[in-house]
Amino acid sequence: MDRRSILKTSGAALGGALAAGCASVAADSSARSPFKVAAVTVPIAGSTDVFPVRRIYCIGRNYAAHAREMGSDPTREPPFFFQKPTDAVQFVAPGTVGDHPYPSLTKNYHYELELVAALKSGGTNIAIGDALQHVYGYAIGLDMTRRDLQRGMGDQKKPWEIGKSFDMSAPIGPIHPVAMTQHYSKGRIVLTVNGQTKQEADLSYMIWSVAEQISQLSQAFELKAGDIIYSGTPENVGPVVKGDLLVGRIDGLPELSVRIV
């Protein structure tokens, strides 16, 4: 057997084993686990139901002015995607102030206020024109970032997960079904820190619309119900310290408030 057929054969065997493994897990619901892992959910506004979170996707540099402040040229560099772990979710109920811990290792901890789209279905290679039919609803969220670690790893051409994908890095408000908000193509997005406006823009400034984000993402990943997409932040990201009060606002959604503790 030459190298190519060996690779082909072992690839097929591995694929078969993986498929069989998945099937047995799915089929045998009576199998016991040695411990429980909590499901991650976000409350749905106007309901006692919750939205089960499958994956958290985030889009980078989706507002031209933010791309420029991060040192890239929005006309030449397309936006890109990364993920946070599902359990990075920190749900904050409207009318409350969430205690958000200042994380370890960083000395430059940044806010990024973002519109979040939540999917009820998915697929691959979704056409832009079909994309919004997969959206269940919208929420307001913060993509909290250890900027020094993100930049440091980026400078070393290493993955910058440690800067983005850590515990509690995804504060979010309740998910509002589309019927409550309609689909977003515009609307004010404003973040204040201690009452002072820091980020102020309009969702219409996004380089890629929510529909385009879904379409692009679905070329790289099979999207599924439960996936949520942080759609990028406008310009004027900046640092916070313990004690700071962050209040995020997006037209049509309740405020999201956290205090850094």
Query: Which residues of the shown chain bind Mn ion in the complex (CB under 5 A)?
Result: 112, 143, 233
By C-beta, is 81 or 221 nearer to Mn ion?
A: 81
Smallest separation (angstroms) from Mn ion to the CB of 231: 9
Residue nearest to Mn ion (CB): 143
By C-beta, is 44 or 142 nearer to Mn ion?
A: 142
How many angstroms separate the CA atoms of 191 and 206, rounded?
16
Smallest separation (angstroms) from Mn ion to the CB of 60: 6
Smallest separation (angstroms) from Mn ion to the CB of 237: 8
By C-beta, is 11 or 159 nearer to Mn ion?
A: 159
Residue 116 in contact with residue 184, Cβ under 8 Å?
no
By C-beta, is 181 or 233 nearer to Mn ion?
A: 233
Q: CA of 46: how far to CAs of 10, 178, 208, 242, in Å?
A: 52, 12, 29, 33
Residue 170 in contact with residue 156, Cβ under 8 Å?
no
Tell which residue, 243, 258, 240, has the closest CA to residue 108: 240
Smallest separation (angstroms) from Mn ion to the CB of 143: 3
Structure tokens at 26: 């799915």
By C-beta, is 74 or 123 nearer to Mn ion?
A: 74
Structure tokens at 148: 């020094």
Smallest separation (angstroms) from Mn ion to the CB of 162: 15
Smallest separation (angstroms) from Mn ion to the CB of 1: 48
By C-beta, is 62 or 218 nearer to Mn ion?
A: 62
By C-beta, is 173 or 177 nearer to Mn ion?
A: 173
Residue 124 in contact with residue 118, Cβ under 8 Å?
no
How many angstroms separate the CA atoms of 27 and 228, rounded?
27
How many angstroms separate the CA atoms of 161 and 82, rounded?
8
Smallest separation (angstroms) from Mn ion to the CB of 172: 13
Name every residue whose Cβ is closer than 8 Å to that of residue 261 and which is 6 or more positions away in sequence: 99, 100, 101, 102, 242, 243
